[in-house]
A and B are shown apart, each in its own frame.
Chain A
Amino acid sequence: MGKTSRFGTAQLLFVLSVGILVVIVAVPMLLIFFNAFWVSGHFNVADVIRVLRQSETYEALLNSLFLSSGVTITGTLVGTFFAWLVTRTDLPLKKTMKLLFLVPFMLPAFIGALAWKMLLSPRAGYINRLFMDVFGFSSPIFDIYTYAGIILVETMYLFPFVFIQVSGALERMDPTLEESARISGADLFTITRKITIPLVMPSILSGALLIMLYSMAHFGTVAVLGVETGIYNIPTLIYEKIHQSAGSFDSIRTATVLATVLVITAAFILWLQNRVLNQGRYQIIAGKSFRPSELKLRTWRIPMLVFCLLYIGLTIVLPTVTIFMVGGLKTYGLPFVSENMTWENYRYILFEWDLTRDAIWNSVSLGLSAALITMFAGVIISYVIVKMKVRGKGILEFLGMLPFSVPGSVIALGVILAWSGKYGVNLYNTVWIILVAYVARYMAFSLKANSAALEQVHDSLVEAARASGATMWQALKDVVIPLVRPGMMAAFFLIFLPALRELTVSVLLYGPTTRTIGVAIYTLNEDGETVYSAALAGIALVIIVTGEILIKRLVAGKNNA
């Protein structure tokens, strides 16, 4: 009988998993903390406090807090209201409306911000000009370059986080809970206040925290709408520090301190969310779908439908149309009449201009390779975490949790610190540095999708293969991989689609020839090439929406087969 070595396949996979996570996530993170707290050879907290007390730093911190709190409140109200409307009332066209409310998820927020800038910037915005030039208003009706403007725009694109969670919870909630309150003599208002809202509160809170987490770390909207009037949040200030100061040590330090604050806040929000979710959410809400009782809207049915359609028209249709229209203008600022419109911009961007053609190519190839690499790495790591009994798995579980709480700009900063030649490898200004950052950023998605799929694969299925004479590798190939393939596919698309429109990470890492679509749209806009920026954004929207639809088809087809 053969002596099986102590260093078998299990240990190999374990070491590989730890290695991937350490190199991709842990080292960049440690370098950020190290740079933040280690000043000229000393551990120095006093200096961190000095950095935090600089006016631009703490203003950015306060702005991040204020903006994300504002977006969280408005987004939660909007999301909860629409969720209730499409699940618990007799609103006409409920199913269609439910799908429409998910569309904002597809649209990148910074493209939305761009559109709103074109519509509501105080001097040039089309809506403001309409009111001033045509209706004779003396001043703009709304200035988008304000806190309120930023909060409004982010709310439009982030409310689905709450909408999805709450409508799901309302659909799954056992209607007998409400009916028994009814029988006990409570009126509808009391039931809503005392039964329904407390029961869906965990879902509301967990969605709200997701909005907060996302908004806190969000670069695009603030970069497009805030920077012009000096409103910076943490990610935009990190960008400013890295980009404008040509990599001086001081600006990198400020960036690392900001990043540290961001990581700690994000970790705290995630911890809070975990606690909220663990507080008995599934004890009351059953897994199966019941038919919930519906509130009769009566005379409000049509007005409510009109309201929903108006909301969707205003937040989805209007900005999208604006992007395409501006993209077709001969010069930005001209009125939308046919002699001012041209297809030339789109043709130029797609077929002639190297900058934009590179950007599209970069985004597509980066998205594909990041999705592929992360998908496979995610399967291996999830497998070790979920299925294997190896010593030291605790370390891996901890490392696997890290990507969930690291915001994009932090990852980008860490990658700059790690891969700029200081430690032997210089990837700066190449696509590779963006790829490394994407893998780190999207690892969380892959781990989530793959471990969910792996939990479904019962251990005995693998053991049955081993007992049938399969080696560990054969069991993986013949049993595990085929069964987690849907999870892998999900991971692939969960990474590929967001990567296509990514801005926060790539804007910190791009070089002369390595712009992504997001970066190209953003920099063209910064350089005043508004028309080209809009045209490229339009093309990006077409690619993204086509991709989403193709994938829905593909997944639906798979499920039917």
Chain B
Amino acid sequence: MADVRISEVSKRYAEKSVLESLSLEVRDGECFTLLGPSGCGKTVLLRLIAGFESPDSGTISIGGEPVADAATGQRLPPDQRGLGMVFQDYAVWPHMSVYENVAYPLKLAGSPALRERTMRAIGLVGLDKLEQRLPSQLSGGQQQRVALARALVSEPRLLLLDEPLNNLDANLREEMRFEIKALQRQLGVTILYITHDQEIALGISDRIAVMDERGHLRQIGAPDEVYEHPVDDFIFRFLGVANFLPVTREDGVLRIAGLPEPWRGPAPDKPGDALTVGFRPSDVTLAPEGTDSIGLPGVVRRASFLGAQMDYLIDVAGTQIRAALPSHECVARGLVFAEGDSCRVELANAHWFEGEITNKGIL
């Protein structure tokens, strides 16, 4: 088992800088997720750790042992880093059976009890009795398990997972997520998981690092911490559907542009007079027009029944926001609105950001 230390690592491709002086620490035995949009450089970081690329500057060490140092040009080749890795496209060797695929790392290492250990790894991912199959005879999910078994079989100190659940359907994705988590607890291996799917990241990780498009780390923390206390609107936006309303503060009174009356919403925890309030669709509560609600006046622009919940698009003073309410609550409390109906909008929970932030792509 091992920790990973990345310090001041930079990587450029031709003219494009992908990573700039990035530092990161993954603790021994934790499941650490690197979360970021596609093309942000998270795969590059993983490949630097694996040894498929070398950093232009900075150092990387695994388990206290330096594996890459740009200053001295020293680099440990991937095969000597003691890793397990699962690739996005599984990379299961098509000409080898399940058994041969999984046994390969042990064969290279000349391990004793090869058969026993291979079969144990195959059993661990639930592929017993399929060991003689060729990958072409397996489903995508099964191939993914082969890749996982192959990565685990030599009990590596560090397991690198590159969006391994991407190509699976929703049910299987959930199942594999639990299994990876269970395996990690069982084996105590350090896992570095990269993904752009915030749900997987929140569900699987001990800690999460969120990366932006330019390859900068914006926030590192436990999943609930990052979710509940996003340091900026990028994180807030990235972790789910985000509504933003611009708010001004005049002499301690909150106002929303375009509305005559002041807003009696939650108190800001940020200084300054130009602010933005951010909230999730599920943070919204609604009331029918005409009740003595203190909420903001809104007009329903679109109403969609999605089974377990109602999804509304509501115009509040010229800004479109999304609201999601449990269907049974809507029915019980008379909150089934049609397009064009007026309503009152209140926030059960709010995140405050400094400056003005506009809504993007929430429709």
- List the A side residues contacting B87 at CB < 8 Å: 460, 463-464
Query: How far does the alpha carbon of A466 sit from the alpha carbon of B84 in the complex, in Å?
Result: 10
Whether B226 sits at the interface, judged by CB under 8 Å, is no
A427 interface hit (Cβ, 8 Å): no
| Assembled-state Cα–Cα distance A467/B104 (Å) | 11
How many residues of chain A get a CB closer than 8 Å to chain B's CBs?
23
Partner of B79, one of A6, A461, A470, A482: A470
Bound complex: CA A386 to CA B80 (Å)? 25
A contact residues around B66 at 8 Å (CB) = 1
Knowing A469-B105, A471-B77, the reply to whether A464 touches B154 (Cβ < 8 A) is no
Provided the pairs A458-B91, A469-B154 are in contact, do residues A463 and B50 lie with their beta carbons within 8 angstroms? yes
Q: Point out the residues of chain B lying under 8 angstroms from A482, CB to CB.
A: 95
C-alpha spacing A469/B84, complex, angstroms: 9
CA distance A461 to B52 in the complex (A): 13
Q: Which of A465, A472, A483 contacts B104 (CB 8 A)?
A: A465
A184 interface hit (Cβ, 8 Å): no
- A463: chain B residues at CB < 8 Å are 50, 52, 78, 85, 87, 91
Q: How distant is the Cα of A465 from the Cα of B79 in the complex, in angstroms?
A: 8
CB distance from B208 to the nearest CB of A (A): 24
Q: Which of A458, A460, A469 contacts B108 (CB 8 A)?
A: A469
Contact A467 B74 (CB under 8 A): no
Give complex CA distance A460, B66 in Å. Answer: 24
Per a CB cutoff under 8 Å, which of B79, B89, B92 touches A469?
B79
Q: Is B331 an interface residue (CB 8 A)?
A: no
Is B95 touching A483 in the complex (CB atoms < 8 A)?
Answer: yes
Q: Is the CB of B77 within 8 A of A468?
A: no
Q: How far apart are B11's CB and chain A's nearest CB, in angstroms?
A: 14
A408 to B76 Cα, complex, angstroms: 47
Q: Does A344 contact B (CB under 8 A)?
A: no
A3-B74, A463-B50, A463-B87 given; A483·B94 CB < 8 A? yes
In the complex, B75 has a CB within 8 A of chain A: yes
Question: Within 8 Å of chain B (Cβ to Cβ): is A479?
Answer: yes
Within 8 Å CB of B105, what residues of A? 468-469
- In the assembled complex, the CB of B50 is this many whole angstroms from the nearest CB of chain A, namely 6
B65 within 8 Å of A (CB atoms): yes
Q: Is the CB of B150 closer than 8 A to any CB of chain A?
A: yes
Q: Within 8 Å CB of A470, what residues of B?
A: 79, 104, 108
Known contacts: A1-B66, A483-B94, A483-B95. The answer to whether A468 contacts B104 by CB under 8 A is yes
Task: Please tell me if the beta carbons of A466 and B67 are within 8 angstroms of each other in the complex.
Answer: no
Contact with B along A470-499 (1 / 0, CB 8 A): 111010001100110000000000000000
Residue of A nearest to B100 (CB): A478
**B45 contacts A by Cβ under 8 Å:** no
Question: Are B108 and A474 touching (Cβ within 8 A)?
Answer: yes
Known: A1-B65, A467-B84. A458 touches B89 (CB 8 A): yes
CB distance from B29 to the nearest CB of A (A): 20
Tell me, in angstroms, the Cα distance from A469 to B28 when the chains sit together. 21
B296 at the interface (CB under 8 A from A): no
Q: Are B67 and A467 in contact (CB under 8 A)?
A: no
Interface size class of B (residues with CB under 8 A): 35 or more
Q: Are A467 and B108 in contact (CB under 8 A)?
A: no
CA distance A472 to B108 in the complex (A): 12
Contacting A at CB under 8 A, from B71-118, are: 72-80, 83-85, 87-89, 91-95, 104-105, 108-109
Min CB distance B107 to A, Å, is 9
For the complex formed, measure the closest distance between the CB of A541 and the CB atoms of chain B, giving whole angstroms.
Answer: 37
Instruction: Identify which of residues 37-89 in chain B touch chain A, using a CB-to-CB cut-off of 8 Å.
Output: 50-52, 65-67, 72-80, 83-85, 87-89
Interface residues of B in 13-34 (CB under 8 A from A): none
Say if the beta carbon of A424 comes within 8 Å of chain B: no
Once the chains bind, are B79 and A4 in contact (CB under 8 Å)?
A: no
Task: Give Cα A4 to B79, complex, Å.
Answer: 13
Q: Does A2 contact B (CB under 8 A)?
A: yes
Q: How far is the CB of A112 from chain B (nearest CB, A)?
A: 42
Q: Mark B260-277, 1 if CB is under 8 A from A, else 0.
A: 000000000000000000
How far apart are the CA atoms of A474 and B79 in the complex, in Å? 10
**In the complex the two chains form, what is the Cα distance from A463 to B151 in whole Å?**
12
Q: Which residue of A lies closest to B81 (CB)?
A: A467
Q: Is the CB of A464 within 8 A of B108?
A: no
Distance of A491 Cα from B151 Cα, bound (Å): 35
Query: B88 contacts which chain A residues (CB < 8 A)?
Result: 460
Q: Is the CB of A4 within 8 A of B77?
A: yes
B211 smallest CB distance to A (angstroms): 21
Cα–Cα, bound, A119→B66 (Å): 80
A461 contacts across to B, CB distance below 8 A: 91, 93
Further pairs besides A1-B74, A474-B79: 19, Cβ < 8 Å: A3-B72, A4-B76, A460-B88, A463-B52, A463-B85, A463-B87, A463-B91, A464-B93, A464-B147, A465-B104, A466-B52, A467-B83, A467-B84, A468-B105, A468-B108, A469-B109, A471-B77, A474-B108, A483-B95
The 9 closest A-B pairs by CB, nearest first: A460-B91, A468-B105, A464-B91, A467-B85, A466-B78, A460-B87, A469-B108, A469-B79, A482-B95
Q: List 8 A-B contacts (CB under 8 A).
A: A1-B66, A460-B88, A463-B91, A464-B87, A466-B77, A468-B150, A468-B154, A478-B104
B residues apposed to A, CB below 8 Å: 50-52, 65-67, 72-80, 83-85, 87-89, 91-95, 104-105, 108-109, 147, 150-151, 154, 160
